[in-house]
Structure 1
Amino acid sequence: MANKTQLNEKKLMLLLMLGIVIYACSQGGKQSADSQSAQTTAAQPSDYDPKRGLGKFDKVDVGNTLDAALAQEGKLIADVKCASCHKYTSERLVGPGWSGVTKKHQPAWIMNFITNPDPMIDKDPELQAQLEICLVRMPNQNLSDEDARKILEFMRENDGVN
């Protein structure tokens, strides 16, 4: 009889713990959805510019020639922050390959995406299509504007700018 009572107590405790977990997860989902909704409403779809993206960079002057020192620093940062998901060729790893990205997108778009990926993914149909292929959102690496500029210069070098 004592064993049956202990078994029932264990079942009850398990059900209670399961209920707490389900409740906690459902509440977290609500908070996450609410904060995501607030983020998404900050910029309306009409605010999105496919040439510059979404963010503080309107125009980034890169000049006609490559800044080799900046590109070298950008490669060091990219090797640490980006290479685990991106190859520098056209081959996809977790995210798409980088080959040709500076020919496809304006410097301001690239800078805005590096420093502000979430709102851009939410608004850009091309990025949303890419997300369906890669299945992983680009995380915000919290890079400074200066580091993002260095990575941009490395991307230009990677695309053959001299």
Structure 2
Amino acid sequence: MKSLKTIAFATLAFALFSCGGDKKTDSIPTASSETSATTETTTTASGPADYDPKRGLGPHENVDVSKFDPAMAAAGKKIADVKCTSCHKPTEEKLVGPGWKGVTQRQTPEWIMNFISNPDPMIDVDPELQKQLELCLVRMPNQGLNDTEAREILEYMREIDGAK
């Protein structure tokens, strides 16, 4: 019985600390603090009434994905290796957060970029993200991505899903 309590406590501790929290990301510099400030202002002023489930909340409205860019996808993979793969796998398999396979087929490019560049406002209002939070038990931290980095990660996600 004592070992069961120890295992339960260790599992809870892992879930709480696995991806860090907002305090860790406060010190991450961004390439464009002006863009981050604009994003923050835009998204925090929005609420559930402003939420568009096809676009999410944020500044990204029309993301051109008509042509695949392998160099951008390679840059996105490098960023993902540093900031994302401790919680996400490029497969359908859940790690801490959900796997990325198929995400570009389930969500629009605008939604993905708005979510990965500033997840907090969307988690607060999106019912699907709230369900995901109940499954994962860890809120996705804001990684401080600028628009270019978010676009590169999107292109890497597109590559995972077979874009050529």
Please report the TM-score for the alignment, with normalisation by the length of structure 1.
Answer: 0.73
Distance 1:45 1:143 in 2: 23
SS in 2 for 1:74: helix
Distance 2:54 2:45 in 1: 19
The residue aligned with 1:107 is: 109
Distance 1:129 1:55 in 2: 21
The residue aligned with 1:143 is: 145
The residue aligned with 1:74 is: 76
- For the aligned residue pairs, the C-alpha RMSD in angstroms reads 1.2
Distance 2:131 2:45 in 1: 22
The residue aligned with 1:28 is: none
The residue aligned with 1:45 is: 48
The residue aligned with 2:62 is: 59
Tell me the CA shift for residue 41 of structure 1.
7.3
The residue aligned with 1:14 is: none
Tell me the CA shift for residue 44 of structure 1.
2.3
Task: Please say which structure displays the higher CA radius of gyration.
Answer: 1
Aligned residues: 122
Distance 1:71 1:48 in 2: 28
Tell me the CA shift for residue 46 of structure 1.
1.2
Deviating runs (4+, > 3 A) in structure 1?
Answer: none
1:84-99 counterparts in 2 under 5 A?
A: 84-99=86-101
Tell me the CA shift for residue 42 of structure 1.
3.0
Tell me the CA shift for residue 118 of structure 1.
0.1
1:121-132 counterparts in 2 under 5 A?
A: 121-132=123-134
Distance 1:42 1:69 in 2: 35
Please report the TM-score for the alignment, with normalisation by the length of structure 2.
Answer: 0.72
Distance 1:49 1:146 in 2: 23
**Larger relative contact order (C-alpha < 8 A, sep ≥ 6)?**
2
Distance 2:92 2:146 in 1: 26
SS in 1 for 2:133: helix
| Structure with a larger share of its residues in helix | 1
